[in-house]
Every structure is written in structure tokens, then in C-alpha cells.
Amino acid sequence: MMGCLDYFWEFWNYETPKVIVVKKRNLGVIYRLVQLLILVYFIWYVFIIQKGYQESESGPESSVITKVKGVSRSQHKVWDVEEYVKPPEGGSVFSIITRVQVTSSQTQDTCPEVGIGRAKYFTSLIGYPLPYSFISKVCPFIKRGNTNHPMAPEFTILIKNNIHFPRFRFTKGNVKDNDDSYLKSCTFNETTGLYCPIFKLGFIVEQAGENFTQLAEKGGVIGVIINWNCNLDLPDTMCNPRYSFRRLDPKWAQASSGYNYRFAKYYKHRGKSTRTLIKAYGIRIDVIVHGQAGKFSLIPTIINLATALTSVGVGSFLCDWILLTFMNKNEVYSARKFDQVVGRVPLNGCRWGSSHL
Amino acid sequence: MMGCLDYFWEFWNYETPKVIVVKKRNLGVIYRLVQLLILVYFIWYVFIIQKGYQESESGPESSVITKVKGVSRSQHKVWDVEEYVKPPEGGSVFSIITRVQVTSSQTQDTCPEVGIGRAKYFTSLIGYPLPYSFISKVCPFIKRGNTNHPMAPEFTILIKNNIHFPRFRFTKGNVKDNDDSYLKSCTFNETTGLYCPIFKLGFIVEQAGENFTQLAEKGGVIGVIINWNCNLDLPDTMCNPRYSFRRLDPKWAQASSGYNYRFAKYYKHRGKSTRTLIKAYGIRIDVIVHGQAGKFSLIPTIINLATALTSVGVGSFLCDWILLTFMNKNEVYSARKFDQVVGRVPLNGCRWGSSHL
Amino acid sequence: MMGCLDYFWEFWNYETPKVIVVKKRNLGVIYRLVQLLILVYFIWYVFIIQKGYQESESGPESSVITKVKGVSRSQHKVWDVEEYVKPPEGGSVFSIITRVQVTSSQTQDTCPEVGIGRAKYFTSLIGYPLPYSFISKVCPFIKRGNTNHPMAPEFTILIKNNIHFPRFRFTKGNVKDNDDSYLKSCTFNETTGLYCPIFKLGFIVEQAGENFTQLAEKGGVIGVIINWNCNLDLPDTMCNPRYSFRRLDPKWAQASSGYNYRFAKYYKHRGKSTRTLIKAYGIRIDVIVHGQAGKFSLIPTIINLATALTSVGVGSFLCDWILLTFMNKNEVYSARKFDQVVGRVPLNGCRWGSSHL
């Protein structure tokens, strides 16, 4: 029995494992090679490629402001932004109308409430009797093979995007802040004009691998994906947006392909309320922002380092096995590595010997 | 002192810790059991249940296209999509109007700017004097216990959703791509019709655990949550959307319960601008998409493996303690495990003995 | 050669590494200090600060319902919600119009389709000849230094937000659920009125560090960021929203600064369709919700614990080096720690000695 004091003193002893040194070159080489492999894996793959020393944050706060500019002329009318952009508020999702089917001057019934009527409604209902015949016109402002070429592909879309990574308190926008007249003159370009987020509609559609006239005919949804992949250990100038374009609606499924929606305009005409019904085919632009930022952090670094150290040890499993299985002639090594102890009385071993001398 | 060459040769020696083998069955059983427990935990829980061998990505890019179909008849008017869906563009958030309060024919004042006037406006202002009396009608097209049953619960909502996990370059939609006529005929069903995302409004409300007529009366917000939980180590066909429905607005708080909003329609009537004010109660549908995908990756696998190996070692802490505390009669084991060294001159131990023989 | 049975019995032996105990106080103190440092780091930083024992989820499902109230009077008209809030549906992104430029009564051409005309359109097109002159009025309802102070800063915005963490099945809203009359009377306040999400527009703008009149003049986008940072190991009452306000559009870039958009109202006037063109400057409010929740989980706990244990071992690397480099007078310690084995015949070491006695 020892007293507390002994325990206290023992606590301040330094303990280090006893090690058997096997002077076998070939085994040593295997041992070091295995260790080398593991080290290379960690240094090169985990730390350099996968940036295992960083903590990362994805899904930044994002705000998008869009503005469409341009005008197009169909054979007998002019379309400007107010006509073809819906909704007009310049959010991250908006549609550019490329073709309309109009059912005009549906006159109203007697119910004064909302200023629209019953009977004429049957026009837009499937499986209802049509009590009246209707004038329905189609007014496309994009016609395939039309002499006066549609200007819709020339429409320009300004996409202002601003992100914020709350964990890293990092904010950045996709527009040059300092330069005043820049946005007025510039054109988007992956290399020179990266901070000039002004895209031609035709460019977007083409980048998405679609045929403009077909898309304008049936309508469709194009995603403008802005990807911020930022390594915040580098200067801010290295954290740049990457733009990609993809068609988002299932184009193969005939039944559900294309993009169109219906809305109405309401008039009071000669004291009677009328409604003009518009079925609009268009190109919907969804601006999708995602990103992730990485920055040095102690926790992942230490976890990965500790893992590396542990893994390096794995090499000895292999070599022990080789040593004790193939090189273990008349138990030279096993005898040295393993110090047998059978309970009660120690049979052999130095301490017993020395204590009886 | 050794020269560099010696160090170099030493480097190629193989070192393995010296081990004491205690021939105690009961202790050995405890030791192995502890190790077994830890192994089972890692193999079963970490790797099988928690998929510790995968890296995962959540928050995929997502695009939603919605389309409402159906028509309803109130006692003296017909409502079609153009009337009750706002906004009409078919985005991920839209409201289906189920009840309206109308203040019609507010005539305008002399200010020509926006074509709307002052005086009549006072109707919609609290705390202002009402210079004129107004005709205000309520035109609900859903009435509780109404003879001609409202068709609103029969409205169908098509929700096209398309997701993309950028890290894994994986894209999938919730609509059968190959089949043309499928969407025309199908009905949603967890088992057979999973890729037929056409929901009856009544079905959605019921799934959210709400009473339709009450909801239609006061309005409310229902979330349609689409959850993609994909294990990309399995074939794509195993990665399917899961739909759930939940009421999103606080229904208990009377003060803030329900969902309604106001908008106006503008007319020029006999040369004078008028405005029809509409307070709309409705069911707002928020389509919320979230998901996560997992795929085999080396880093988490190795981290978890290394952790497992380390943890297995923990067993020896316990057993050492048992060994040295309870089984350590006249210090048989501690003497063997611990090789005492007091500074300067070695007092006991084999090396000293052998060297002096 | 041993038989399987021997192997089986050997399996139930307990193996524990042999350890050299160095009775050097100074070295022991260094050893324990290093261990202490590492332990403190893990317990204090990893577990207490960084909550290394929790698994976390970010990006909760979120739904936002907004409602604006208030009325303002310009010199000769009154603006109410229907006029200045677009879109009216009360979603997470909406704009409050603070200034309008109106081009009224653009009469239509002969094309009956959409009820809007060509010629007059040229007004809004740059680079086109202007065939007619137009009356264009500016009707600002916020004027700097105006005698009757604009009431816009007094507009109140109710922001109902409801989040759901699917992994933890945790749902919470930012509105007091139980209390009926609460929302009617309360005002937002970080300390007392945290669950009263009613903000004055002026308060939001001020919190974002902007000048209201300037913002109202040119327009801008303000983000209302709601941050839910929840430790689900604590009671729900500790999981509260935190509000912050930030200007989101790049205010420095003159070219792209401000926020405005164009929309039109359509009339049929004396049998002819006319359009009133409105360029609206306003304050767009983006309600951005993000959050993360943490809850105790076995995997990260065990990974961090195992890492801690491994890291504690690192101390011995240092001390071994000190021991064998500085304290290793006439190889006392190296001789003890390292048990040399040259292939074939063991030269020294106790086992050989004892076996020859």
C-alpha cells in the first residue's frame, strides 16, 4: 500500500513506452514506406486538395436585383420593358414574355363586385358549353423566319448580386463598386468583364444550350447560377463569382414542357367591365445563388492532424504482422516483444532475477 | 556521440513497442468485450446508420414551376385561374384567393398623375373622417353550408421541381421525363404516382391537418415541403422526393392569424379614373425544397476509421486500471509493466546486471 | 508452430505496453504541462466554445408573411397600402414606393391585340424619334424639407417568420402564439418586445445606417436579416430570433445605385386603350432568414474525444526528444527505452540471461 503522497510524487514521473528496435533493413524500409504513403496522402490530398485545415460555410445570405432593358418591334406594335417583364419589381425570378395569345373584350355580367362576369368565362374553361363565339387573336412578337428580326435576344439583363457569409463576416458584390461609368459601357466577359453582370438574353439561352426561337415559341425556364467559391485565407480579390446557365424545366416531357401562364387586364368600357385574357409564353429567368467560403480554423486542422498521426501508426500493424509471421525464426522477435506473465509467481524476467541476487 | 551516418542507418530500423502479456482469462475477456462494444458501435452506428463513410451536401439548387387548374362558381359568378391565382407567374410562392371583400367604384380626384384620387381614399384609412358613404359588397365564392358546393378543393396544383447538387453534379426532377401523356392522366400517390406532382388543393389542406372551409374563410399559409434525401452510392432511382405538408402561419395567435392582402384594380370610367379595392382572403402555398445528398468520400471514411482505431485503444485504459488496482498482488504486474529508472546510475534491471556480469 | 487452439487461448490474453518510468521531476513537470495545455484547449475551446459535442444543421425551412400598414399624404393626394406596396401578396420580398414618375394617357394604336399602341411607346425608348410631345408629371409623395412631413417613415411592417429544422424536428415562430391582443399594441424592442416583429420603416432604414430622405429619393434595397442561432440542448425559450438590418444594393456605384422599376396601368378610355406609365422609386425590403441549430450527438462527441486522447499523446513526442537528447548521459535512458535486437542471436537483455542461468 502506498500513501497519497507517493501517488502525488508518482504523478510527476515521466512514462514512455519501451520499444524493441529490430535491426532489419528490409522491414525498416517497408515500415518507412507505409508511413510515407500515409503522410503523402494527408499532406497532399487532405490538406492541399481538400483544404482540411479550413472550416467552411455554405449558403450565404444573398440578395438579387435584376433590371431588363431593350425594346422589340413586332410587325405592328412595339414591346418595351413594361410589357414583357413580369413581375416588374426586379427580383431574382422574372419572366420575359416572348409570345402572347389574347382573348380580348370579354364583357361582364351583372355582378358588380369585381367587375367581371360569368358567361364569357366559359371560353377559358374546358368541358363547358360555349354560349358565345369569341374573337381570339394571337399576337406573337417573335416569328420564326420573320423578315424584321425580333430584337428579344438583344435584350440585356443586369443582375446585381450581393452575398454575405455571416460566420466569416464577409460581404461581396458582383458589381465594381468604385467605377461610376463602368456599368454603362461594359459587356460581360469571363476574363475581362467578370464584374460587369450584364447579359444578353440570347447569350444566356445559348450558354444554356438551347435554341432561342424554339424556346421563345414554347417558353421555358433558364437558371442563371452564380457560384461564389471563396478561400478567405487568400485576398478578397481571389473570391470571384462564377456564372453558369442551365435549363431548369424538363424539356423532354412533352406534356409538361415549356413555360406559360395566364393573366388578365380589366377595363371598364362604356360603363361595362371587360377583361382581356392573355396567355403568355416566355422565358423565365431564375437567378440561383449558392456559394461556400473556407477559412483556416483550429478545430478541423487539429482533428485532421491527430487523424494523420493516428493513421501513421497503422503502418506498425502491418509490419508487426510481417515481423512475427515471416521473420520470426525460433521466436527471436516474439520472445522480445512479448513478455509473458503468468499470474501469481514471476517465473523469469530480469526484475525477479535481480531482486534475488 | 553518433555521426550522421549512424542516424541514417538508425532511421531504417523498425521499432515496435514492447508488450506485457498477462495470462489472465477474466481480464482478457473484459478487454475483448470492451473492444467488441466499441467496434460494434462504430460499424453499426457510425458507418451503417450514420453513413460515416460519406461526405454530404445539403441545400441543393432548386427551381419550382407551379400551375393551378380548375374553376369554381359562386352563386352569381365564375372564378377561373386568372381571377384567383396571384401572382400569376407560377413561382414557388402563390396564393389562391378563396374570399374577397370589394369596395368598388372609388371615383378619382382631379390630380391626373396616377389616375387615382384623394377623397375616396379615406374609406380605407383608419382614423380619417369619411366624407362619403360607400357601397361595399362581399362576394365570397366559398360559403359554408352552401347548396352548390364550392369547387375550390378540387383545384389541381402542378408542382414541377428540379434540383441540382453542384458538388456531386447530380440533377433530378420530380416529373417523369420520358412519358408524354403521363401528366395528363395521372394522380399523385405516395407509392404508384410519386412522379406525378399534381395535388388537389383539398388534399394539401387535409394533409396539413386543417379544415378547408375554416382555412378558406380566414386564409392561411400552407407549406408544401419537398425533401430530397439521396444516397448517391445507390442508383438514381433510389433518390426520390418526399412530400410533406404543414401549416406555416401561427394559427393560434388570433391577432395575426389568417392570410389576406389588399390590391386594387384601376379603371377610367366616363373619363374619370376609378379604383376597385379588393381585400382578398386566400390560401398561400409556399413550396419549400430542401434536401441532402451523400456519397462515398475518403476523408470522412478515414477520419472515422482512425477514430475507431483510437477508440478501440480506450479499452486498455480500463483494463490497465483493473489490472493494477485489483489484480496487482505483491506488485507482480506493476513491476513488470513499469520499469523504474532513477537518473544517473541504474540501480536494478537487466541491462545493469548483464553489463556487470 | 502453434495450433489453432493455442491461437484461441492467446486471443484471451491481455496485452499492455511495457513502460519506462523516468523519475525526473523537471521532465515530468514538462510532460504534465503539455498534457494540461492540450486538455484545456479541448475542454475549453473545442467543447465549451465550439460545442464540439453537437451536430448542427443550418439553413432551416422558413416561411415569411409580411404586412405593411400606414398611409401617407402628398401635397394633393393620399397614398395607402394598395398604392405603394408591390407586389401586394405579402411575401418575403416587397417594395414600398416612395417616389413615382408618371407618363400618363399614352393613347393606343390600331392593333387591338393587347390594347396598347406603338407610336406613344417611343416616349419610353431611348434612341427613338419622339413623334409626339408628352405631358410627363412627377408626383413625389416624399419631398425633402416639405412642410407637411411625409409619413412614410411611420409605416409599420409586420414580419411573421416561421422556421423548421427538419433534422431536429424543431419548429418556432417569431410571434407570441398564446397572446391575442399582443400584436395589436406592441412595439419591437430587442429586450422586451422581441416577439413583436412590427418595425417602423424609418427604424429599419436607420438601423441599416441610411438617410431616409436620400434613400426615398433614389431608392434602395434593405435586407432584414433574421438569424436563428439555437442550442437545442437548452430549453426552447433560449432559441430566439436576432434581427439585423443591412443595405444590400451597392450604394457607392453611381451607375447602378438606387432601386427603381417601371410598370404600367391600362385603361380603355372613350373606346380607346390608354396606358399610364409609372417609374417607381422605392425601398425594397428583402427578408432574409438564416439560422443554425446544434444538438448533442454521439458522433462528433466521440470523434472529438478520440482526437483529444490522441493529441494528449503528442506530449510524449516532445518529452522523448528532450529525454534522449539532453538528459541522456552515458545512454542511461536510450539503453532502457530501446531494446536492440540484431537478427539471429540475442546478444544482451534479460530474457537471454535468465534462459541461460
* Per-residue pLDDT tens over the stretch C260-293: 888 888 887 666 667 778 888 889 999 999 888 9
Question: So what's the pLDDT on residue A57?
Answer: 86
Contacts of A82 in chain C (CB under 8 A): 124, 262-264, 275, 277
Most confident of A340-349, B193-202, C1-10: B193-202
Interface check for B335 against chain A (CB to CB < 8 A): the answer is yes
User: What confidence category does residue C167 fall into, taking pLDDT thresholds of 50, 70 and 90?
Assistant: confident
Asked if residue C320 has pLDDT above 50, the reply is yes
Phi and psi at B245, nearest 5°, equal -130, 135
* Per-residue pLDDT tens over the stretch B81-140: 888 888 998 889 999 988 877 776 665 443 333 333 333 333 333 323 222 223 433 444
Known binding positions of A: 67-69, 156, 260-262, 279
Tell if the CB–CB gap between A18 and C21 is shorter than 8 Å. Answer: no
Give percent above pLDDT 90 in chain B: 16
C262 marked as part of a ligand binding site: yes
Asked if residue C37 has pLDDT above 60, the reply is yes
Question: So what's the pLDDT on residue A351?
Answer: 35
* Per-residue pLDDT tens over the stretch B134-180: 343 344 444 333 333 357 788 899 998 989 898 898 989 888 766 66
Question: So what's the pLDDT on residue A149?
Answer: 38
My answer on whether omega of the bond before B87 falls inside 30° of 0, hence cis, is yes
C213 marked as part of a ligand binding site: no
Known binding positions of A for ATP: 67-69, 156, 260-262, 279
Q: Give the dihedral sign, CA C194/C196/C198/C203.
A: negative
Q: CA nearest A341 in B: which residue?
A: B22
User: Within a 13 Å sphere around the CA of B286, how many CA atoms are in the beta-carbon half?
Assistant: 24
B17-31, B67-81, C80-94, C195-209: least confident range: B67-81
Question: So what's the pLDDT on residue C294?
Answer: 93
Give percent above pLDDT 90 in chain C: 16
Q: What is the mean pLDDT of residues B263-272?
A: 76
| Summary mean pLDDT of chain B | 75
Asked if residue B31 has pLDDT above 70, the reply is yes
Contact A115, A108 (CB under 8 A): yes
User: What confidence category does residue C144 fall into, taking pLDDT thresholds of 50, 70 and 90?
Assistant: very low
Q: CA nearest B26 in A: which residue?
A: A343
User: What confidence category does residue C199 fall into, taking pLDDT thresholds of 50, 70 and 90?
Assistant: very high
* Per-residue pLDDT tens over the stretch B298-342: 878 887 887 787 777 777 777 888 887 777 777 777 777 777 776
Distance, in Å, from the CA atom of A187 to the CA atom of C317, rounded to the nearest integer, reads 59
**For A16, which of C263, C264, C316 is closest by C-beta distance?**
C316
Q: What is the mean pLDDT of residues C43-55?
A: 86
Question: So what's the pLDDT on residue B178?
Answer: 62
Question: So what's the pLDDT on residue B179?
Answer: 62
Tell if the CB–CB gap between B164 and A116 is shorter than 8 Å. Answer: no
pTM of the model: 0.77
Interface check for A25 against chain C (CB to CB < 8 A): the answer is no
Distance, in Å, from the CA atom of C223 to the CA atom of B62, rounded to the nearest integer, reads 22
Distance, in Å, from the CA atom of B40 to the CA atom of B312, rounded to the nearest integer, reads 10
Interface check for A80 against chain C (CB to CB < 8 A): the answer is yes
Q: CA nearest B336 in A: which residue?
A: A351
Q: What is the mean pLDDT of residues C35-43?
A: 86
Question: So what's the pLDDT on residue A105?
Answer: 62
Q: What is the mean pLDDT of residues B290-297?
A: 90
* Domains of chain A listed by start with CATH number: 2-53+298-352 (1.10.287.940), 58-109+139-294 (2.60.490.10)
Interface check for C18 against chain B (CB to CB < 8 A): the answer is yes
In the numeric block, which cell numbers belong to residue C99? 417616389
Question: Which residues 303-322 of B are in CB contact (within 8 Å) with C?
Answer: 303-304, 307, 310-311, 313-314, 316, 319-320
How far apart, in Å, are the Cα atoms of C335 and each of A290, B2, B17, C318, C329? Answer: 61, 14, 14, 19, 11
Q: What is the mean pLDDT of residues C172-181?
A: 75
Contacts of C337 in chain A (CB under 8 A): 16, 18-19
**For A350, which of C59, C122, C350 is closest by C-beta distance?**
C350
Alpha carbon of C15: minimum distance to chain B alpha carbons (Å): 5
Q: CA nearest A10 in C: which residue?
A: C23
Contacts of A100 in chain C (CB under 8 A): 113-114
SS3 B178: coil
Q: What is the DSSP string of A257-289?
A: -S-EEEEEEEEEETTEEEEEEEEEEEEEEEEEE
User: What confidence category does residue B285 fall into, taking pLDDT thresholds of 50, 70 and 90?
Assistant: very high
Give percent above pLDDT 70 in chain C: 75
Q: CA nearest B303 in C: which residue?
A: C303
- ipTM field: 0.72
Contacts of C349 in chain A (CB under 8 A): 336
What are the residue ranges in chain A where pLDDT is below 50?
108-149, 345-357
B286 vs B330, more confident:
B286
Contact A97, A268 (CB under 8 A): no
C279 marked as part of a ligand binding site: yes
